[in-house]
Amino acid sequence: MEKFFAVIDRISEWMGKLASFMMAGLVFAICYDVFMRYVFSKPTYWAFELTYMVYGAYSAMGVAYCLLLNSHVRMDMLYSKLSDRGKAWMDVVGYVLLFFPFMIVLTYKCGDHAYWAWASGEGSSVSVWRPQLWPFKFAIMLGFIMLILQGIVNFLKTLGVAVKGGRQ
């Protein structure tokens, strides 16, 4: 089981680092568009679409890494006052009642959209560039699948702390 945990943790870390490089590309594309627009009065026709697609993929691909690092926003008015075991039980309940049901539905629907975009050859209608949308939608689905897998790993680790005690 520990080997499975380590593999998922490494993949989440790799995807998080890949997402950071995507952000560097996104910043370059935006700066290029701003430069072309205001210096040469020739805005690009592709920058807007590229930025929302890359940002969407970046966000989805980075969330598993955020979960690995436990860096998502948390309401800790009550949580911070609990013992480590109490925190673990609260996390277990949150995973079972909120995280897994929501993520399963979200990933399923995202998979439907990605498959439909691929099968139909759906292209964007926002600009004259009209790129295919399936790579963007599959990247989001992949990020959500990794989030579920990282959630399973964190859930099992947290369940161990809740049952046996110890630190998270």
94-107 per-position pLDDT tens digit: 999 999 999 999 99
Q: Which two tokens stand for residue 35?
A: 């430069």
Question: Is residue 124 scored above 80 in pLDDT?
Answer: yes
- 110-130 average pLDDT score: 92
The total domain count for the chain is 1
Q: For the chain, what percent of residues have pLDDT higher than 70?
A: 99
Residue type, 149: L
Q: What is the pLDDT of residue 168?
A: 64
Mean pLDDT of the chain: 92
- This prediction's pTM: 0.88
φ, ψ (nearest 5 deg) of residue 17: -70, -35
Domain with 71 in it: 2-164
Q: Which residues contact residue 101 at a Cβ distance below 8 angstroms, ignoring those fewer than 6 apart?
A: none
83-94 per-position pLDDT tens digit: 999 999 999 999
Q: How many CA atoms lie within 13 A of 61 on its CB side?
A: 23
Q: What is the pLDDT of residue 152?
A: 97
